[in-house]
Chain A
Amino acid sequence: MTSTSPSETAAAPSALIDVTHETRYRYARAVELAQHMAYLRPIDDAAQELLRFEMDVEPAPSHHSSARDVFGNCRTVFTQTVPHEMLRVVAHSRVRLRARPALTSAALPWETLRERWRYVAKRPFDAPAEFVFASPMIPNLAPLRDYALASFTPGRPADEAARDLTRRIFKDFKYAPASTHVGTPVLEAFTLRRGVCQDFAHVMIGCLRTLGLAARYVSGYLLTEPPPGQPRLMGADASHAWASMAVVGEDKEMVWMELDPTNDCEAGLGHVRLAVGRDYGDVTPLRGVIRGGGRHALDVRVSTIPVDEAVPVGTIPA
């Protein structure tokens, strides 16, 4: 249901999407004190305009604040000091997606990029170089490098090689909900050749970084209902994640190319971006430290619905 607003240029495709992301924890015993940190506010930039955002937290926090983190994401922290046996966080967002920036010239070979991100004394620093390094959840692993080299053959343009890697991960790995958890090490997912979107993204990023390429983790959502005639994509009923790699064209222009190995595609008008970071740990949608609580049950629901722009926009269904 990708639609084009009549008021805008007919040439620029865009999509208007409403997202509701609800997280609910039920605790066996009362939680006496809770400190949480959330990355639930979608990115607002040229390719993704944030039209509306609301976040409801129950019980009401005694204190909360939001600020931009070092990557430009919105980080919200809140504290609950009333004893509670249930935590509910609901984020409603409306975004307008437009086409991502793309290279306007042929991509350089991957080895050229690798050299470019490498440190040479007194040579000015290129921002993407930050994403070449191992990060807490994605260490440098030799097996990933060997796996990646099958796609990154000598002299191959970086974008083409990356698309090939995306396809191979999609084919070689089994998407298996609940087969892993948020702390699953990348090596385990790689060895088992299975996991959820977070694992697919981590494996892909790990592959790219072991080659010396700059890759980021993108946390976000996927359109729940696919456009008519297209298959429903994996990972649509929960929050989603994919990878993003810095590519440079022959004209020296740099763009972040977003690749979704869970679905073997490039991120498009169905991919809503929440936050970017080095790995899941930088942009965990919701995390916390609680005192008390005992055992807990978790329930997460995400609905991502295209808005029919012909219909006047009313309230967002909760």
Chain B
Amino acid sequence: MALHTASSASIQSSLELDVTASQAEAAIYGVLHAARRAEPGHHDELLEATGQSLRAPWQRFFSLLGPEGLLDLRRRAGQVAQQIHRNGVTYNVYQGDTGQSRPWSLGLLPLLIEPSQWAEIEAGVRQRAMLLEAILADCYGEQRLLREGLLPPALVLGNPGYLRPLHGVVPPGGVRLHVAAFDIARGPDGEWAVVSQRTQAPSGLGYVLENRLIVSRQFPEAFREMGVEHLASAYRQLLDTLQTLAATCSDGEPPRLALWTPGPFNETYFEQAYLARYLGLPLVEGGDLTVRDDRLFLKTVQGLEPVHGLLRRLDDDWCDPLELKPDSALGVPGLLQVVRAGRVVVANALGAGFLESPGLHGFLPAIARRLHGEELQLPALPTWWCGESAAWKATREELAARVIRPTFPGIAGRNFEPVIAAHLAPEALDAWRARIEAVPDSHTLQRYMPFSQTPVWEAGQFTPRTALLRVYAIADGKGDFRIMPGGMTRIAARDPHVVSMQHGGASLDTWVLADGPVDTYSMLPQRLRPQEIAAHRRPVTSRTAENLFWMGRYTERTEHLVRLAQATATLLEDDDDSPAAVLDAMSELAEGSGLAPYGVPSLAKSPRVFERAVVAALIDAREHASIAYTLDALDRSAGSLRDRLSPEHGRLVRTMGEDFRSRMAWVDLDDEGDPSKGAAAGELVAALEHLANQLAAVTGAQSDRMTRDHGWRLLTVGRLTERLIGMATMLRAFFEGGAVYTTHGFDLLLSLFDSTMTYRARYQGRQEPLALLDLLVVDEANPRALACVLRRLRTEIGKLPESPDSVLGLLALLPQQGAGASLVELCHDGREATIDDARVLALTERLVEAGSLLSDEVGRRYFALSDRHDQHLAV
């Protein structure tokens, strides 16, 4: 190879070019063969008007993909779906009162936007964002636009989204719109137009990132060669803007920001958690925040910590139950007062919601001329607000060519689903005319425009789907906006006219192609100054701490249950007669832990009935102590901790539940046959073993992969507390009826404590109860000994943040050293070689009680702030 001459290299490369050229042609031919044309009236993103050739960017895309890539699309689409599932990307859809989350739907192919088009979009959106900001300033200030008749009062003062309590309030930096989103679409002529705008808490910034990561990985070559604009700088801009503005109200301290979520039941919770993690912001709920003396605070395990900026995902109405919607449990009472005092940046500013009314569109051109002396560069779909009688009269007879939209979307009593009037029968049209004339203000008409259709790869075909693109304008804090070069493209599910995620649409990555070099900034950590380091340590909110504590407890409880279930299965498999004492001890443990339902005949009486009851209980998620229940509880805690757990960790927890459910389904099926010898027993053992392995991975992730902050510490305390209770309970059961003094019981107890190996190594085959007691209770070197669990508990509790009455109170609940009794103290006085069972039982009682007291105390001290029983009063 080193001998290659310059000429041979060039021959080589020209050959490659030829090959590439013909391959590109083959790929394009393949696409043309498998592509359907857009429906009549829709601009076709993929095909030229003739239908015989691809539009330029797609030609490029498929040339780079080549015929092999084309054949590989099915596999890549599968990978996209798999990645969505692995990352747990969801979109919650409300169904009755049970929120169901379903996987986010992402298409394989991106939407491609050429540089010249993007330049127009960018300039137009930027201009509109600046105009909206100016309108907000006017409406919450001097109201010149109202007085001059440029804006109808009905759309401002009559809009429930206009918040009078904030009139006259100038937010930090004078910025009210930090992120504005514009839904734009391409008409039949290929020109872009604004369909609607989002000004309160636009969703999508998290999905945009996730979509980009997944799709760009499927087409690395095209992504690189086509010069796709990167997105990271826009997110950086958002953070910079918020930080700069928040610094004006943080009293010289480094400002603290948070992402405010409505909580895990919100439809876009996934992306909120994702965005929080990407931006490095704590994800907080209303209950995590509190107002004191016109200032906002975060409730943490270390007490109240100031917050200076909120990137919110709540709509206005819900933000303050004191002054806005009184029954909002998601808000922060007193927040409006903090806003009026200028002590917090809320992004977007509260009260920006009235700009979301489609009724405004028709008034914007005149306002742009009046305020900025310019024409709008990016038009909106022609819009008529029916409250202006001249406008209604002008369009009344053309209703069939309109889309009827609510002027006040989302407002109870005035909201309705948009209607495409072209689909209506003449009588229905007349009914709508009457309805509009009865309440003209509430109705807005928009010209019906078929949006462009972009290819989606489906079942081996390129199917055209109607697309709507959401573009984000991000304030720079100095009066200008930067447009994120990309966005969230949504495509219609079936009806080519309705684009909605709630209605089952899908999303696409959006590739803005660059003319020049691409800004490859990536959101790598910035260089920090030493004094900033501390500010970047994420506070642990009381709610997060509570979830972590219970995650620790549930993980351990599941392990405990699995171990008991395995032991029970082994007992049942053994044909030898197990001593009654052992069977009784296991029955009691099974019943006490919830493994077997109360009142079931014991193992000794009826092993088959017992087994069936245990198997049934294992998978009953309604039972408070079943494995299925603790797995669900674990999944819920993990779901609420999405911003803290690594995606792998969350995935592990989720998979654990899914695997267990599907494996147990087999056990259940075969139940009727021969439960102990047949496939069912084998499946049960296999399911438990698989679960045990997965649990080991989860605990590994918990102990090795998590930041050692107070949150982790509380998780560990939860885990050790549960372990303390579990072990003490097992010990009690085996000593109570003397099971430990039988060979069978002796071995079983050792195995339940995971200490069989250690015991054998030390004492070989000897059955010495005292040696067992030493190993399981007193020996601090045995990680499964009570003394070791207690020592670790004391250590972790000692590191917890000092609450007013200090951690000493917590430590006082535990024995001061060891397990609280020495080996000698557990034996009969004067007869050192014999165990005094009563003393052992008393010790186990004390430890079980200490465990539950400790759990209550930890809750009272560290999670009390997260308690929320707000009530609203009015007289």
Name the CB-closest residue of B to A29. B869
Give bound CA distance, A129 to B441, whole Å. Answer: 14
Name the CB-closest residue of A to B150. A122
**Is A140 an interface position by the 8 A CB rule?**
yes
Instruction: Say whether A125 contacts B147, CB under 8 Å.
Output: yes
0/1 per residue, B306-325, Cβ < 8 Å to A? 00000000000000011100
Q: Which of A65, A125, A142, A284 is close to B153, meaning CB atoms less than 8 Å apart? A: A125
**Is B761 an interface position by the 8 A CB rule?**
no
Q: Which residues of A contact B150 (CB under 8 A)?
A: 122
Minimum CB–CB distance from A118 to chain B (whole Å) comes to 7
Q: Which residues of A contact B875 (CB under 8 A)?
A: 23, 182, 284-287, 298, 300
| With contact pairs A182-B874, A291-B868, A291-B869 given, residues A65 and B168 touching in the complex (Cβ less than 8 Å) | no
Instruction: Say whether A296 contacts B149, CB under 8 Å.
Output: no
Q: Which residues of A contact B143 (CB under 8 A)?
A: 125
Instruction: Flag the segment in A131-139, A164-172, A257-265 that touches B.
Output: A131-139
**Is B252 an interface position by the 8 A CB rule?**
no
**Is A178 an interface position by the 8 A CB rule?**
no
**Is B413 an interface position by the 8 A CB rule?**
yes
Instruction: Flag the segment in B23-31, B158-166, B603-611, B689-697 that touches A.
Output: B158-166
Instruction: Say whether B873 contacts A119, CB under 8 Å.
Output: no
Q: Which residues of A contact B154 (CB under 8 A)?
A: 119, 132-133
Task: Name the residue in A36, A62, A119, A285 with the highest tally of chain B Cβ atoms < 10 Å from its Cβ.
Answer: A119
Q: Which residues of B contact A23 (CB under 8 A)?
A: 875
Instruction: Say whether B413 contacts A139, CB under 8 Å.
Output: yes
Q: Which residues of B contact A6 (CB under 8 A)?
A: none
Q: Which residues of B contact A111 (CB under 8 A)?
A: none
Interface residues of A in 123-178 (CB under 8 A from B): 123-125, 129-130, 132-134, 136, 139-140, 142
**Is A282 an interface position by the 8 A CB rule?**
yes
Give bound CA distance, A216 to B441, whole Å. Answer: 20
Q: Which residues of B contact A313 (CB under 8 A)?
A: none
Instruction: Say whether B390 contacts A289, CB under 8 Å.
Output: no
Instruction: Say whether B873 contacts A133, CB under 8 Å.
Output: no
Instruction: Say whether B390 contacts A120, CB under 8 Å.
Output: yes
Minimum CB–CB distance from A293 to chain B (whole Å) comes to 6
Minimum CB–CB distance from B717 to chain A (whole Å) comes to 25
Instruction: Flag the segment in B12-20, B52-60, B288-296, B396-404 that touches A.
Output: B288-296
**Is B497 an interface position by the 8 A CB rule?**
no
Q: Which residues of A contact B441 (CB under 8 A)?
A: 133
Instruction: Say whether B149 contacts A289, CB under 8 Å.
Output: no
| With contact pairs A79-B334, A121-B388, A122-B150 given, residues A134 and B291 touching in the complex (Cβ less than 8 Å) | no
Name the CB-closest residue of A to B325. A136
**Is B568 an interface position by the 8 A CB rule?**
no
Instruction: Say whether B870 contacts A62, CB under 8 Å.
Output: no
Give bound CA distance, A290 to B334, whole Å. Answer: 11
Instruction: Say whether A289 contacts B871, CB under 8 Å.
Output: yes
Interface residues of A in 50-91 (CB under 8 A from B): 62-63, 65, 67, 69-71, 77, 79, 81
**Is A33 an interface position by the 8 A CB rule?**
yes
Instruction: Say whether A70 contacts B149, CB under 8 Å.
Output: no
Instruction: Say whether B290 contacts A33, CB under 8 Å.
Output: yes
Q: Which residues of A contact B873 (CB under 8 A)?
A: 25, 36, 286-290, 296
**Is A180 an interface position by the 8 A CB rule?**
no
Instruction: Say whether A79 contacts B292, CB under 8 Å.
Output: yes
Name the CB-closest residue of A to B145. A125
Q: Which residues of B contact A5 (CB under 8 A)?
A: none
0/1 per residue, A95-126, Cβ < 8 Å to B? 00000000000000000000000111111110
Q: Which residues of B contact A35 (CB under 8 A)?
A: 291, 322, 333-334, 337
0/1 per residue, A21-57, Cβ < 8 Å to B? 0010100000001011100000000000000000000
Instruction: Say whether A133 contacts B152, CB under 8 Å.
Output: no
Instruction: Say whether B158 contacts A288, CB under 8 Å.
Output: no
Instruction: Say whether B148 contacts A122, CB under 8 Å.
Output: yes
Instruction: Say whether A119 contacts B152, CB under 8 Å.
Output: yes
Q: Which of B164, B333, B341 is close to A289, meaning CB atoms less than 8 Å apart? A: B333
Give bound CA distance, A124 to B150, whole Å. Answer: 9
Q: Which residues of B contact A130 (CB under 8 A)?
A: 153, 157-158
Instruction: Say whether A67 contacts B340, CB under 8 Å.
Output: yes
Give bound CA distance, A293 to B321, whole Å. Answer: 17
Name the CB-closest residue of B to A130. B157
Q: Which residues of A contact B869 (CB under 8 A)?
A: 291-292
Give bound CA distance, A307 to B333, whole Å. Answer: 40
Minimum CB–CB distance from B364 to chain A (whole Å) comes to 13
Give bound CA distance, A79 to B291, whole Å. Answer: 9
Name the CB-closest residue of B to A61. B293
| With contact pairs A67-B340, A123-B149, A125-B153 given, residues A133 and B158 touching in the complex (Cβ less than 8 Å) | yes
Give bound CA distance, A77 to B334, whole Å. Answer: 9
0/1 per residue, A265-293, Cβ < 8 Å to B? 00000000000000000101111111111
At the interface, is chain B mostly helix, strand, loop or mixed? loop
| With contact pairs A69-B164, A139-B413, A287-B873 given, residues A129 and B153 touching in the complex (Cβ less than 8 Å) | yes
Q: Which residues of A contact B321 (CB under 8 A)?
A: 289
Minimum CB–CB distance from A307 to chain B (whole Å) comes to 26
**Is B75 an interface position by the 8 A CB rule?**
no
Q: Which residues of B contact A139 (CB under 8 A)?
A: 413
Give bound CA distance, A290 to B292, whole Å. Answer: 13
Minimum CB–CB distance from A126 to chain B (whole Å) comes to 9
Give bound CA distance, A62 to B150, whole Å. Answer: 45
Give bound CA distance, A124 to B341, whole Å. Answer: 32
| With contact pairs A121-B149, A122-B148 given, residues A70 and B167 touching in the complex (Cβ less than 8 Å) | yes
Name the CB-closest residue of A to B166. A70
Instruction: Say whether B146 contacts A125, CB under 8 Å.
Output: yes
Give bound CA distance, A69 to B166, whole Å. Answer: 9
Q: Which residues of B contact A65 (CB under 8 A)?
A: 294, 337, 341
Task: Name the residue in B147, B326, B337, B340 with the highest tally of chain A Cβ atoms < 10 Å from its Cβ.
Answer: B337
**Is B67 an interface position by the 8 A CB rule?**
no
Name the CB-closest residue of B to A117. B153
Give bound CA distance, A134 to B160, whole Å. Answer: 9
Minimum CB–CB distance from B278 to chain A (whole Å) comes to 33
| With contact pairs A120-B390, A121-B390, A182-B874 given, residues A288 and B322 touching in the complex (Cβ less than 8 Å) | yes
**Is B464 an interface position by the 8 A CB rule?**
no
Q: Which residues of A contact B158 (CB under 8 A)?
A: 130, 132-134
Name the CB-closest residue of A to B413. A139
Q: Which residues of A contact B387 (CB under 8 A)?
A: 119
Instruction: Say whether A70 contacts B293, CB under 8 Å.
Output: no
**Is B439 an interface position by the 8 A CB rule?**
yes
Q: Which residues of B contact A289 (CB under 8 A)?
A: 321-322, 326, 333-334, 870-873
Give bound CA distance, A287 to B343, whole Å. Answer: 23
| With contact pairs A35-B291, A125-B146, A136-B160 given, residues A70 and B390 touching in the complex (Cβ less than 8 Å) | no
Q: Which residues of A contact B341 (CB under 8 A)?
A: 65
Give bound CA distance, A140 to B407, whole Å. Answer: 15
The 7 A-B residue pairs with the shortest CB-CB distance, nearest first, are A133-B158, A289-B333, A119-B152, A63-B293, A287-B874, A70-B167, A35-B334
Residues on B facing A (Cβ under 8 Å): 143, 146-150, 152-154, 157-158, 160, 164-165, 167-168, 290-294, 321-323, 326, 333-334, 337, 340-341, 387-390, 413, 438-439, 441, 867-875
Q: Can you add 17 more A-B contacts, CB < 8 Å, to A79-B291, A288-B872?
A: A35-B334, A65-B341, A119-B149, A119-B388, A120-B390, A121-B390, A122-B150, A123-B149, A124-B148, A130-B157, A132-B154, A133-B153, A134-B158, A287-B875, A289-B870, A296-B873, A300-B875
Can you name 15 A-B pairs with beta carbons within 8 Å?
Answer: A35-B322, A79-B292, A119-B387, A120-B390, A125-B149, A130-B153, A132-B158, A133-B157, A182-B874, A286-B874, A287-B326, A288-B873, A288-B874, A289-B873, A291-B870
